[in-house]
Structure 1
Amino acid sequence: MRPQENGVPEPVRSGKYLRYVALGDSQTEGVGDGDDIVGLRGWADRLAEHLAIDNPELQYANLAVRGRRAGEVRSEQLGPALALRPDVATVVAGVNDLLRLRVETSTVADHLEAMFAALTASGARVATVTFPDLTRIIPLARPVRSRILDINDRIRAAAARHGVAVAEIARHPSVADRRFWSEDRLHCSPLGHQLIAAAVAHALQVPGSNDSWNEPPPPLPIPLSTQRRATAELRWAATFLGPWLGRRLRGQSSGDQRTAKRPQLHRIEGLRS
């Protein structure tokens, strides 16, 4: 590692990445890109495939589990991640905390920074993302907007202290585009996962990556009429919001009884386009 002007060590990449480990919650697990029957793909899988183009010998593990809060990601995934000795890692967590009735964003940021610090100290190159403003796609989420803006500022500051690469998803023009999101509006669609993978690859300066991910999306088709939009909102509330609120009231999580889909390092076989 070489020192930066501000005294924070800057990782030096020697050769190609050999071991990639992803830590996080449902977005990193890949919810919204595939399903539990055919299998989930997700942005971390897509990033691993990109890294494997540069080095076919790459091994990849994904420790993410849906529903996990930042503290749970730290307590459950950081130790196993360090044991796998990654030379590149991604840490994306915190949205599940922000959606709770009460949360201290400083505590969430502390968990994230602890993971940044431990992984970079182990020699890994680490990347993370900032979170989009959910109120632009879910108006009912307006109470959490200030939390999202605050945690993003804290993520940027913690990342700067530890030499962590940041993909600025929060600032992308697609965050209000319904094509970026799955039907539940909390998880990205395959197109959204593809965009995040490209953004993280660019933040890591992976060969073959560029800033084209940050270009504005093509114009949306003709917008829905007021009546169709209202019908869509009611259908979304019944199909997704109601069950989500029900789990919260019962103290349940979508990740109960679930484990990581890829807990050990394995080669990437059969790259997908």
Structure 2
Amino acid sequence: MADDSTSITRGAIGSYTAVGDSFTEGVGDPGPDGAFVGWADRLAVLLSDQRPQHDFRYANLAVRGRLLDRIVSEQVPRAKELGPDLVSFCAGGNDILRPGSDPDDVAERFEAAVADLTRSIGIVMVTTGFDTRGVPVLRHLRGKIATYTAHVRAIADRYGCPVLDLWSLRSVQDRRAWDADRLHLSPDGHTRVALRAAQVLGLPVPADPDQPWPPEPERPAAEVRRDNIQWAREHLVPWIGRRLRGESSGDHVEPKRPNMLPL
């Protein structure tokens, strides 16, 4: 795996804004109050721990279901207005999942946004896609996701951005890293991504994000088939229905943390 870590002076990041879709909003990782937590919130805590004066501030503008152009038009200007030391920018995944989308075209628009952000923000961390080889339905889009991921890495090289490389994070290939909908990470999955993001930024972490999962007994084939049928009924069919109707799970959702506030 390539070394995508960035050398940052301990405590140098005093503010952080997260930009993106459901992945960055934290869907799949509910907190005790019912609001989603997610990897970005968990990364914010790790960053805050590096500030002995406890003056760290954090905003999360991500909204589930958002396509790239809407993220760029709504969240990028706000991130620039807030002017944090660090922005995490994860976008384009929902576009890639749309039938007929072109990863080359999506990457071109993604690069324009990265260029815009890097003119205003000191550190812009970009995020690749996951390797979907073991995910039902999405495994058939693996080639498109790989192409987009290659573009993201090339864009990061051109603009000097640290890369949160999810494709190479082997631990999220385990089914326990994923929520029941198989589209969003579980709390443990979000935790591992947060730890990897902290590593990329050169922070000390309390655990290895790629640490192997405990052994799991092999599941009977009948149980696997039963789970697949239930998943299709409860999650896949509604997801496809929203796509056919042109709806999004985030149509009436606002950013959970639109202002730069202390943790």
Shared fold, TM over 0.5: yes
Counterpart of 1:6?
A: none
Deviations 1:2-46 (A, max 9, x none): xxxxxxxx9976962122000000010010000696111000000
Mapped partners of 1:35, 1:251: distance in 2: 29
SS for the counterpart of 1:201 is: helix
Q: Say if 2:198 is the partner of 1:198.
A: no
Q: For 1:217 and 1:163, how far apart are their aligned partners in 2?
A: 33
Partner of 2:16: 20
> Counterpart of 1:4?
none
Is the contact made by 2:59 and 2:258 (CA closer than 8 Å) also made in structure 1?
A: yes
Matched, 1:183 2:180: yes
Q: Choose from 209, 216, 233 the match for 2:205.
A: 209
| Residue from 81, 84, 97 that aligns with 1:83 | 81
Partner of 2:169: 172
2:245 to 225, 234, 250: 250
Question: Contact 2:87–2:121 (CA<8 Å) still a contact in 1?
Answer: no
Distance 2:257 2:30 in 1: 15
For residue 98 of structure 2, give the secondary structure of its aligned residue in structure 1.
coil
Aligned mate of 2:156, from 156, 159, 174:
159
State the superposition RMSD in angstroms. 2.0
Give the corresponding residue for 1:232: 227
- C-alpha distance in 1 between matches for 2:32 and 2:252: 14
Is 2:171–2:209's contact at 8 Å kept on the other side of the alignment? no
Residues 98-143 of structure 1 deviation map (CA, whole Å, 9 limit, x = unaligned) = 11111111222123222322222214211122211223122x2233
Which of residues 12, 24, 27 in structure 2 aligns to 1:31? Answer: 27
Give secondary structure in 1 for the equivalent of 2:167. helix
3-state SS of 1:60 partner: strand
Q: Distance in 1 between matches of 2:107 and 2:145?
A: 11
Q: Which residue of 1 aligns with 2:258?
A: 263
Identity of aligned residues (%): 39
Equivalent residue runs for 1:32-111 within 5 Å: 32-34=28-30, 38-55=34-51, 56-111=54-109
- Structure 2 partner of 1:143: 140
**AA of the residue aligned to 1:134:** T
Contact 1:11–1:125 (8 Å) recurs in 2: no
Structure 2-normalised TM-score?
0.91
* Inter-partner Cα distance in structure 2 for 1:227 and 1:171: 31
Aligned to 1:120: 118
Q: What is the distance in 1 between the residues matched to 2:186 and 2:61?
A: 21
Cα deviation, 1:229-269, whole Å, max 9, x if unaligned, reads 0000000000000110111111100010111110000000x
Cα distance between partner residues in 2 of 1:79 and 1:41: 23
Q: Structure 2: where are the runs of 5+ without partners? A: 1-5
Contact conserved, 1:136 with 1:175, CA < 8 A, in 2?
Answer: no
CA separation of 1:121 and 1:30: change in aligned 2, threshold 3 A: same
Q: Distance in 2 between matches of 1:11 and 1:35?
A: 31
Specify the alignment match of 1:5 in structure 2.
Answer: none
Distance 2:117 2:206 in 1: 25
Moved over 6 A (4+): none
Moved more, 105-114 or 42-51: 105-114
Confirm or deny: 8 A CA contact 1:71 1:108 kept in the other structure: no
The corresponding residue for 2:3 is none
